[in-house]
Structure 1
């Protein structure tokens, strides 16, 4: 995570690395643990489309990924979550530890995350959460699509 810490500092983004006492597997668990609105939880999911893989950073308030919406927006016939093996292969990280930044894939980012001063998501380290300003998602990633 050292590199992304340097990037966040150099670009002037406020952030904090938080070491969790317990593993966090869902947005609800994260919201309860940090005592925040579930909408601030920003898991990074890897999705497969017939055009290739994308990193999807979505607000926890959505509850689920709307694959039909993504299919329509991308004009793609096949959209699904990547398998655990695919996630590891395309990101270098195990599923559940994919960071919000630095994955060499196009990103799909949920605009709802901009409604909060900070969002919470993966940083690539087990049992560690990154609290960061949501604008960093747009500045530091190759954002191909914004979900409304």
Structure 2
């Protein structure tokens, strides 16, 4: 098991959350790949879109696997200038996890959870590496990240 995956599991256990951690042999970098790997629908997944504001703060827009995040909606929601998407190296620097494996919790950021995500009971999110996933209740996900529920999808 990779060190990043161990960090996710340790964080979840320390928060007393029920979860399922799945390590795959193939990459689940895209939602489509991940859905095939666990025989689920892309509607069972969330994506964590990493953005950086003008002051260098990390913002995570959590949207359903089929959706795209809107930087303009995020800017309006936070009353800031429209943030930019984080570069791959910045994702690792800010979150501590590689792109494609970022969980929806467990690091310092402003978390914004799209309203559609709140309609779900459980979702798959990044498990710490591009080859791992975590299945967790949305209620627990939001409790752990302290996210604000707002429409951030395009």
State TM-score, norm by structure 1.
0.84
Do the aligned residues in 1 keep the contact of 2:61 with 2:69 (CA within 8 Å)? no
Specify every segment of 5 or more residues in structure 1 that has no aligned partner in the other structure, as ranges: none
Residue 54 of structure 1 is matched in structure 2 by: 59
Report the equivalent of 1:38. 42
TM-score by length of 2: 0.81
Say yes or no: does 1:6 pair with 2:10.
Answer: no
Task: Name stretches of at least 5 consecutive residues in structure 2 with no aligned partner.
Answer: 1-7
1:104 aligns with 2:130: no
1:61 is paired with a residue of what secondary structure? coil
The CA deviation string for residues 38-59 of structure 1, in whole angstroms up to 9 with x for no partner, is 2221122211122521122211
Contact 1:55 1:103 in 2 (8 A): no
Q: Separation in 2 of the partners of 1:5 and 1:137?
A: 10
Report how far residue 16 of structure 1 moved: 0.5
Higher mean C-alpha displacement, 27-36 vs 133-142: 27-36
State the SS of the aligned residue for 1:100.
coil
CA distance in 1 between counterparts of 2:40 and 2:115 reads 18
How far is the alpha carbon of 1:83 from its aligned partner?
0.8
- Contact kept? 1:45, 1:98, Cα under 8 Å: no
Residue 88 of structure 2 corresponds to residue 81 of structure 1: no
Query: 2:5 corresponds to which residue?
Result: none
